[in-house]
Structure 1
Amino acid sequence: MSGLTVVVGSINADLLIRLDRHPNPGETLLGDSMAVLPGGKGANQAVAAAQLGAATALVGAVGNDAYADIALSGLRAAGVNLTGLVHPDGSTGVALVEVDRHGENTIVVIPGANGTMGRAAVESQRELIASAEIVLLQGEIPRDGIEAAAALATGRVMLNLAPVVELDPAVVRAADPLVVNEHEAELALSGLAVRPAGTAHEDLVRGLLDAGVRSVVMTVGAAGALVGETTDDGGASVTVVPAPKVRAVDTTGAGDAFTGALAAALSRGEDLVEAARFAARVGAFAVQAAGAQPSYPTLADELPAIRQGIEPEEAEQL
């Protein structure tokens, strides 16, 4: 039986704007539509994990404005434990998300209440965090809050270094896994004062392992992910995990779907490579619909729906 996954992170309301293309500086365009949806990297990952069967709790904050209920709606629907929620005076975090006709997005995040999730707020939930089998962290709350959560953890620490923030190198090295994309991997290596052997994807993953990171999952968009692990003989192995071929409608929150699914698979005892294979299928599912949390699958619909659009030989391997 899997244990508890505690996500310590951000909660936002996403103002999702759909438009034909992104405006140039100084340009005004007419958009196609706007919706207000639940979001935030912490909330997104908690919803993804919970909907895929993981017992999940969230430590985070919302304000006392009209956006709070919207920001919490997906968490409540997914059955995430919200006893670790705090309610500071002020505004809820908001993300302004523009999505063009190709599904590509630009995002501006206004932290709001998420900015209050520093050391004191996180340490107020020490018992909940210490009880977790997996503690999942991201970069959308203050640095001292992230570091406090890592220090309180008695179980496995997953760190999705997005956005990249400066952290104690010991926290980054303790991540198991460190979840990054290619750009974030390069910045993480810089923060660890390590120069990789080259610029290829595998070089970046091996560079992070050589820098002392316990394990690495680096996402590479539609190509899937690379999984890096330290071997028993002190070496390193890197496994390529391809992603299913699907038509992207909106990439918003796809990385969070991947990370939440990775946590869910690890919580039920899968090894890191198999967990990444599962997460890649979930990420592919999420890009086929608009928004972040509304696009996430449940265990009931994940495999049949993701098989649509996959090459036959790939589908047989799922």
Structure 2
Amino acid sequence: MQKLNQKGTKYDGLIFSMIALIASSILLGIVSASSEVQSACSSRRLINNVPAIFVVGSVNFDVTVHTELPKSEETMRAYNSNIHRALGGKGANQAVGAKMSLLRPQDSVVYFVGKFGDDEEGKWLFNTLSEEYSVNLKHSESIRNVSSGTGFVLLSKEGVASSVVVPGANAEWEAKSALPNFFADVFSSSDISTEDRTCLANDEREYGDSISSTKTVLLLQREIPDAVSEAASKVFKEKGDLNPRIVLLDLGGSQSRVSDALFQSVDIISPNLSELETLVATSIPDYGVNIYNFENDDDAIRAAKGVLKSRGNGKQALLVTLGHRGSFYVTDKDEEFVFVKPLASLDPELVVDCTAAGYSFRSSFAVAVAEGNTITRSMEIASASGALAVQKMGAAPSLPNRASIEEFLEKNGRLRTKVSSPLGDSFSNPKIDTIDRFVCRLNSMKERKDLVPKVTKFETKALLERYATIEGVSLVELNFPEHVTKSSLKNIAKIVERLHLKVSGLNVRFPKELFRNGAFTNPSEEVRKKAVQFLKDACEVALLLGDKVQRVVDGQVDFSESWMHLVSGYTAAVGDSKTCAKIRKISYEFKPTDALIDEVNLPNFGLTLDYAHVLTAAENPSQSATMAFMKGEKLFGVHLNDAVQSKLGAEDGLSFGSVNPRGAYEFIRVLRKFNYDGVIYFDTFPMNEDPVQECERNIKVVKNYWKMAEKDLGNVMLNEARREHDFLKIEDLSM
């Protein structure tokens, strides 16, 4: 961002030291729902950190009636006069459950592939899945002149659900001969690029088994034709990338025999107890002789093994849920057996609706496996999810998010999943050997014009062409409306593409002529409305660019009144469903101790830390970053630079680590410790230096610090010294 004193506004030492309090410089960063821009060969980290979930299945409009199951020719009066309508269908609910179960839902994609009816219910179902639950529906479609699938749920007083399903559009799939081509398109277009695949192949040769602990998972059910699931499973395996691909078949949805082709094409078959009994009866030839008591765990396990022996391909597993008795995972190998009992005994009064218990269990299990957890740990996560789901009414509305699941695990004696843990230096994160998502300030390319005498006018095109010569940089951030507007977007996009750059950000600059006295905090309500609209316009451009937007707000006068305007302005702009709400991350540059994140309280609203600004606000940058991470991974962006502090004021915008190398290293160590995976933006002002060389120098410094941090975080003695606050020992071990 531009330095304030270069805009014609001077701050003396007192005011400058209060920069964080008065929010005289606030930065807003927005990242879209598409995956963050990575450099060409950063995909090993992308695959490590981003599990992928595909769900092919049914979507229904559920109507729930509170009644006992009537007998033949019997008419019963419902014991509750209300009818509950909700999103239904095993496929749709498992897609929602998967999205809710993700540790980092903003960085992962859940694809649902299904058929919607061409009616009002279908439109409502489509909008609910895509807008309310952020499930990707790019491969789903509405079938003309066909009604939506409908589920009629009869719910007893004990919370036990019985259902009747009318397939509707769920039965309207492509012809069997066309299914392989249909799914080839689905799994190819959702896959990683050819360029990234080449990088992954190179990384696999170099790093071997350490390349990835995550998996790509396909969830199937039986509320759609088996032929569809069979085609999806086979093509999914054929189109596999360098990550392992796993197919899980939920046996719910049909009591008919599973075809041999479908059965053998999947990796994990998951029935509940009654479905296991049906599976055994249709799979084991001498079932009538070998009677199993399915209320006995040993018999249930023996029966599951019998199914695998009779129909399995030697590489499969059965994941069986036993209701209040727990669940087990079994293969045809005796050593591959896991039994997980319920994490807690629920009070019967807490159990209000068991409809979504299975959806929740299997979708959470799939996500946990995709994230690289062990089978045992994945079953514990799934068990927690199922236990929470039965305590709320409805299917989709009862599916818990990962935060609730982790809290339930902790309350019942299990550890939270260790990702970017704030508890200490020793934690199980994916190993990140390098960092390569760098951005330099585009306007710094205006400096040292004598080095590029052929350039007479530094417009956006000339700036980008000089910027593209920086070694080690493939990302760029543009200013709105200085560098790009709605009208110039196509032309700028062509230039960026020609220079082999990718836009990772859009920095919003509020015109001084209109917003001289502030934007969201302006005393004029009319101007504040224009500020909200201005940001919405920027969001539209950001959505077209597909990445990140940042903004600057001028000084404030009356703090209490301005604070209310600030909160309401951000809430109105960031929450706008047509523009900014579609953006994945919105961050503003302030200090982590303020309450604006909590006041606005939107999931895509976070923080950008400017290293030099934190210094000039008399804060510790490393502590500020730690606090931001501990707010729940709310650090969305960092600006690296350095500053000279004195009683007379400060000089910021200097090369990173040039003034405070030890503090700069500690800041990078915190980023590495918490597995920061965002863009590193160098907000520097090289007035006397070659801006290209200055940027390359900053990149080199950060890469060296990152390697040092990687080494330090693996040093047991150093970690122990840090926990003991033993300064002298830390110094000795760090030398």
**Fold conserved between structures, TM > 0.5:** yes
Equivalent in the alignment of 1:40:
89
Describe the superposition over 1:172-231 as per-residue Cα deviations: whole angstroms up to 9, x where unpaired.
134221111122223223433455765221112211332325011000112121111344
Structure 1 residues 92 and 203, CA, compared in 2 at 3 Å: closer, same or farther?
A: same
> 152, 155, 161: which one pairs with 1:99?
155
* Greater mean alpha carbon deviation, residues 36-45 or residues 175-184: 175-184
**For residues 74 and 271 of structure 1, what CA distance do their matches in structure 2 show?**
32
Equivalent in the alignment of 2:124:
70
Structure 1 residues 174 and 51, CA, compared in 2 at 3 Å: closer, same or farther?
A: same
Higher Cα radius of gyration: 2
Matching of residues 1-318 of structure 1 within 5 Å? 1-19=49-67, 21-25=68-72, 26-32=74-80, 33-53=82-102, 55-76=109-130, 77-89=132-144, 90-118=146-174, 119=176, 120=178, 123-129=181-187, 133-154=216-237, 155-164=245-254, 165-195=256-286, 199=292, 200-211=299-310, 212=312, 214-231=316-333, 235=334, 237-243=336-342, 244-246=344-346, 247-304=350-407, 315-317=412-414
Which one-letter code corresponds to 1:279 in the other structure?
A
Cα distance, 1:125 vs structure 2: 3.6
Structure 1 residues 293 and 123, CA, compared in 2 at 3 Å: closer, same or farther?
A: farther
* Greater mean alpha carbon deviation, residues 219-228 or residues 165-174: 165-174
Which one-letter code corresponds to 2:124 in the other structure?
I
**For residues 3 and 127 of structure 1, what CA distance do their matches in structure 2 show?**
20
Cα distance, 1:301 vs structure 2: 2.1
**For residues 409 and 159 of structure 2, what CA distance do their matches in structure 1 show?**
18
Residue 123 of structure 1 contacts residue 148 of structure 1 at CA under 8 Å; is this kept in 2? no
Residue 305 of structure 2 contacts residue 332 of structure 2 at CA under 8 Å; is this kept in 1? no
> What residue ranges of structure 2 are gaps of 5+ in the alignment?
1-48, 103-107, 192-215, 238-244, 293-298, 416-735
Which one-letter code corresponds to 1:157 in the other structure?
V
> What residue ranges of structure 1 are gaps of 5+ in the alignment?
309-314
SS in 1 for 2:143: coil
SS in 2 for 1:81: coil
Residue 52 of structure 1 contacts residue 297 of structure 1 at CA under 8 Å; is this kept in 2? yes
Which one-letter code corresponds to 2:382 in the other structure?
A
Residue 175 of structure 1 contacts residue 215 of structure 1 at CA under 8 Å; is this kept in 2? no
Which one-letter code corresponds to 2:147 in the other structure?
S
Structure 1 residues 15 and 9, CA, compared in 2 at 3 Å: closer, same or farther?
A: same
Residue 58 of structure 1 contacts residue 81 of structure 1 at CA under 8 Å; is this kept in 2? yes
Identify the structure with bigger relative contact order (alpha carbons < 8 Å, sequence gap 6+).
Answer: 1
**For residues 360 and 306 of structure 2, what CA distance do their matches in structure 1 show?**
26
What percent of counterpart residues are identical?
Answer: 27
Structure 1 residues 292 and 73, CA, compared in 2 at 3 Å: closer, same or farther?
A: farther
Residue 179 of structure 2 contacts residue 231 of structure 2 at CA under 8 Å; is this kept in 1? no
**For residues 409 and 128 of structure 2, what CA distance do their matches in structure 1 show?**
21
Structure 1 residues 256 and 268, CA, compared in 2 at 3 Å: closer, same or farther?
A: same
Cα distance, 1:22 vs structure 2: 3.4
Cα distance, 1:72 vs structure 2: 3.0
**For residues 264 and 338 of structure 2, what CA distance do their matches in structure 1 show?**
20
Residue 111 of structure 2 contacts residue 137 of structure 2 at CA under 8 Å; is this kept in 1? yes
SS in 1 for 2:227: helix
Cα distance, 1:236 vs structure 2: 5.2
Residue 10 of structure 1 contacts residue 61 of structure 1 at CA under 8 Å; is this kept in 2? yes
SS in 2 for 1:82: coil
Cα distance, 1:305 vs structure 2: 5.0
Structure 1 residues 194 and 185, CA, compared in 2 at 3 Å: closer, same or farther?
A: farther
Structure with the higher strand share, 1 or 2: 1
SS in 1 for 2:75: coil
**For residues 56 and 302 of structure 2, what CA distance do their matches in structure 1 show?**
30
Q: CA RMSD in A?
A: 2.2
SS in 2 for 1:240: strand
Structure with the higher helix share, 1 or 2: 2
Cα distance, 1:304 vs structure 2: 2.7
**For residues 332 and 228 of structure 2, what CA distance do their matches in structure 1 show?**
28
Which one-letter code corresponds to 1:215 in the other structure?
A
Paired residues, number? 308
Which one-letter code corresponds to 1:36 in the other structure?
R
Residue 234 of structure 2 contacts residue 265 of structure 2 at CA under 8 Å; is this kept in 1? no
Residue 47 of structure 1 contacts residue 74 of structure 1 at CA under 8 Å; is this kept in 2? no
